[in-house]
Amino acid sequence: MVRYVRGPEGEIVADVYGKLPGRGVWVSAREDALRQAVQRGGFNRGFKAKVAIDADALVAQTHEQLRRRLLGQLTMARKAGQLAFGQTGVREAAARGDVSMRIEARDGAPEGRGKLRTLSLATARELGRKDPDVVGCFTAEDIGLALGRSPVVHAAVTVGRMVKDIRITARKLSGFESLVPKTWDDARHEVTLEPPPEEPPPDSG
C-alpha cells in the first residue's frame, strides 16, 4: 500500500517512504485503486475534509516516486555490495546461484538477457531457491545513473537482507506499470512480480 498525506497548501502528496508527518490515508498500490479512491471520495473520508485532487497528477506523482525509490534502492544495494552489474558480473553471480532479482534494461538486446535468464533460473532451481524475478522497466541510462556508471544493460540484486524491501517496492511499482515490457519478444519466459492485490486500507495514520 501507499500512504498519502496533505501538504502545507492542502495538496495530497504520495509518501512512498512512509516518513512524512501528519495524518495519512493508505491506498492499495495500484493505479486503478488510486483512481477509485479519488472518484469515490476515499480521501475526503480519510482526511475528514473535502480535498480537491487531480487523479491524473496524483497517479503520475505516485508512479514517479516509486520509480525513484526503486532506483534509489538499487544504488544502496550497490554500496552494500549486494548488486552485480554488467554481463560478466551478473553471469558470475548467476553461476553461484546468488541472483535474487535481475534488472534488465528495457532497451537491451534479447540475446544477452536470455542467456542470463537461463543461467540464473537453472542455478536457482538446482539450489532449491526461488526463481529470480526480473525488472525491465528502466532504460540502460536509468540503471547506469543509479549505479554511478555509464549505461548498464544487465544488473542483479544478490541474495541478502535488501532483497525483501526491493521486492516490495517493485511489486508496488508493478501496480502502475508493467515490469516486463510487452515489446520484449521473450516476455513470456520472464518471471515477474504481480501487482499487489486489492486490500482494504488500514485506519488513517
**What tens digit of pLDDT does each residue of 163-192 get?**
999 999 999 999 999 999 999 999 999 988
Please state the φ and ψ torsions of residue 21, each to the nearest 5 degrees.
Answer: -75, 165
**198 or 101, which is more confident:** 101
Inter-axis angle of helices 55-79 and 163-173, to 10 degrees? 160
Q: Tell me which amino acid residue 50 is.
A: K
**What tens digit of pLDDT does each residue of 22-48 get?**
889 999 999 999 999 999 999 999 998
Q: What is the 3-state secondary structure (H, E, C) of 41-76?
A: CHHHHHHCCCCCCCHHHHHHHHHHHHHHHHHHHHHH
Whole-model pTM: value is 0.92
* Domains of the chain, first to last: 2-65 (3.30.1230.10), 67-189 (3.30.1330.30)
